[in-house]
Amino acid sequence: MTLNSKVPEGPIKDKWINYKDKINLVNPANKRNIDIIVIGTGLAGGSASATLAELGYNVKAFAYQDSPRRAHSIAAQGGINAAKNYMGDGDSVYRLFYDTVKGGDYRSREANVYRLAEVSGNIIDQCVAQGVPFARDYGGLLDNRSFGGVLVSRTFYAKGQTGQQLLLGAYSALNRQIAAGTVKLYHRHEMLDLVVVDGKAKGIIAR
Average pLDDT over residues 180-200: 93
Among residues 142, 160, 178, the one where a domain terminates is 160
Q: Which of the four pLDDT bands, split at 50, 70 and 90, describes residue 200?
A: confident
> Are 95 and 150 part of one and the same domain?
yes
The answer to whether 156 and 144 have CB atoms below 8 angstroms apart is: yes
> Are 141 and 96 part of one and the same domain?
yes
pLDDT of residue 201: 87
Domain count, the chain: 2
Residue 7 included in any domain: no
Among residues 138, 160, 182, the one where a domain terminates is 160
Domain with 54 in it = 33-74+163-207
Q: Which of the four pLDDT bands, split at 50, 70 and 90, describes residue 142?
A: very high
> Are 140 and 175 part of one and the same domain?
no
> Are 54 and 82 part of one and the same domain?
no
Given a cut of 80, whether residue 107 has pLDDT beyond it is yes
Distance between CA atoms of 110 and 89, rounded to whole angstroms? 24
Distance between CA atoms of 54 and 47, rounded to whole angstroms? 11
Ramachandran bin of 37, using left for φ above 0, alpha for ψ from -120 to 50, beta for the remaining angles: beta
pLDDT of residue 1: 65
pTM here is 0.88
Given a cut of 90, whether residue 198 has pLDDT beyond it is no
Residue 14 included in any domain: no
> Are 153 and 204 part of one and the same domain?
no
Quick: pLDDT tens for 109-122: 999 999 999 999 99
> Are 96 and 135 part of one and the same domain?
yes
The answer to whether 63 and 90 have CB atoms below 8 angstroms apart is: no
CATH number, domain with residue 58: 3.50.50.60
Distance between CA atoms of 111 and 7, rounded to whole angstroms? 7
Max Cα–Cα distance, the chain, nearest Å: 58
Given a cut of 80, whether residue 186 has pLDDT beyond it is yes
Distance between CA atoms of 107 and 122, rounded to whole angstroms? 25
The answer to whether 189 and 207 have CB atoms below 8 angstroms apart is: yes
Average pLDDT over residues 34-57: 96
DSSP labels for the chain? ------PPPS-TTTHHHHHHHHSPP--HHHHTT-EEEEE--SHHHHHHHHHHHHTT-EEEEE-SSSSGGGSGGGG--S-EE----TT-S---HHHHHHHHHHHTTT-S-HHHHHHHHHHHHHHHHHHHHTT----B-TTSSBP-B--TT-SS--EE--TT-HHHHHHHHHHHHHHHHHHHTSEEEE-S--EEEEEEETTEEEEEEE-
Average pLDDT over residues 56-68: 94
- How do strand 191-197 and strand 80-81 relate by DSSP bridges? unpaired
Given a cut of 90, whether residue 82 has pLDDT beyond it is yes
pLDDT of residue 43: 93
Distance between CA atoms of 153 and 14, rounded to whole angstroms? 26
pLDDT of residue 16: 92
> Are 70 and 167 part of one and the same domain?
yes
Q: Which of the four pLDDT bands, split at 50, 70 and 90, describes residue 148?
A: confident
